[in-house]
Amino acid sequence: MAGRQPRGTHEIEALAERLERAQRLRQEMDPLTVEHADLTVDEAYAIQFALIMRQSRRGDPVVAMKAGLTSKAKQVAMGVDEPIYGQICESMILDDGETLATSELIHPRAEPEIAFILGADLRGPGVTPERVLAATREVAPAIEVIDSRYRNFRFTLPDVVADNASSARVILAARRSSPVGLDLRLMGMVFEKNGEVVETGAGAAVLDHPANAVAWLANKLAERGGFLSAGSFVMPGALSNAHPVAPGDEIRVTFDRLGAVALRCT
């Protein structure tokens, strides 16, 4: 950052507008860092917040949060050692059984997650995984549909942060379970695409325990004065790779003891 002032509101808004336009027109764009190689992660979060503020002003409020890049595989692929976060607006949520209209997105991919539904606020700093579990009312099988606005899903860390961590759609199973008595670290998962097993995994793929990802998120949000609120939910990150989805595809994710969640694509 030495040698220049942080980007001002005008430039942050202009960059958010570019991302918003790509999303609205379903058109891939070049990563922001092609033109702005010195974009910092802090500035990228400012762009993300500007993007989400535009959405909220149009009557689409933030109802949940996500952590991304929480698995070793994704961190190694991106060359980073810290997760990122993004925000989930009301319009991004699909009900259990609802179909995904892939024509609304650019190049969607589905990934398996365990959603945490909070019964109490989580305010950092100092949130521990134990506090996360105590504040969690229920957990549910979930699928996140990610959709980078960047060409060929290629980007640097600031790019993906600005692009709201590739958030696109989220589907939670109607069936919910209390986390009490469950070992989410050892929770086994089978991910099927069109009846074929394409991935298997366990909860430990997510920062060693998905509650670690929720704790990280609560503590990270505290840096900007934010927190995770009771009644909202958190997507802590994927247990495996994401897989592209196209019209006609059916995704099914089954967890030991938690049950299954399915997604049909048109």
- Which positions lie near ligand 0L1, rule CB under 6 A? 68-69, 74, 144, 146, 148, 160, 165-166, 237-238
Q: Which is nearer to Mg ion, 69 or 135 (CB)?
A: 69
Using the rule CB under 5 A, is 160 a contact of Mg ion?
no
CA dist., res. 73 & res. 24, Å (int): 30
Give the residue from 175, 154, 180 showing the smallest Cα distance to 166: 154
CA 95 – CA 247 distance, rounded (Å): 18
Among ligand 0L1, Mg ion, none, what does residue 69 contact (CB within 5–8 Å per kind)? ligand 0L1
CA–CA separation, 187 vs 31, rounded Å? 36
Render 75-96 in DSSP notation, one character per residue. Answer: HHHHT-SS-EEEEEEGGGEEPT
Q: What distance in Å separates the CA atoms of residue 20 and residue 24, rounded to the nearest whole number?
A: 6
199 binds Mg ion (CB under 5 A): no
- Whose CB is nearest to ligand 0L1? 68
State the nearest-atom distance from the C-beta of 86 to Mg ion, in Å: 8
C-beta atoms surrounding 209 within 10 Å: 21
Measured CA to CA in angstroms, residue 92 lies from 71, 104, 131, 143, 147 at distances of 23, 11, 28, 12, 12
**Which of ligand 0L1, Mg ion, none binds 47 (CB below 5-8 Å, type-dependent)?**
none
Q: Please tell me whether residue 249 binds Mg ion under the rule CB under 5 A.
A: no
Does 22 participate in binding Mg ion (rule CB under 5 A)? no
Interface residue with Mg ion among 86, 133, 143, 144 (CB under 5 A) is 144
Q: Tell me which of ligand 0L1, Mg ion, none is bound by residue 226, counting a contact when its beta carbon lies within the kind-specific cut-off of 5 to 8 angstroms.
A: none
Nearer to Mg ion, 12 or 84 (CB): 84
In whole angstroms, give the CA distance from residue 145 to residue 107. 10
Q: How far apart are CA 149 and CA 106, in angstroms?
A: 7
Least Å distance, CB 69 to ligand 0L1, is 5
Token output for 193: 């695409």
Choose which of 238, 245, 253, 258 interacts with Mg ion (CB under 5 A): 238
- Residue 148 touches which of Mg ion, ligand 0L1, none (Cβ within 5-8 Å per kind): ligand 0L1
Distance CA 101, CA 124 (A): 37
Q: Which does 52 bind (CB under 5 to 8 A by kind): ligand 0L1, Mg ion, none?
A: none
Interaction partner, residue 249 (Mg ion, ligand 0L1, none; CB < 5-8 Å by kind) = none
Using CB under 5 A as the binding rule, whether residue 29 contacts Mg ion is answered as no
Tell me, by CB under 5 A, how many residues bind Mg ion: 2
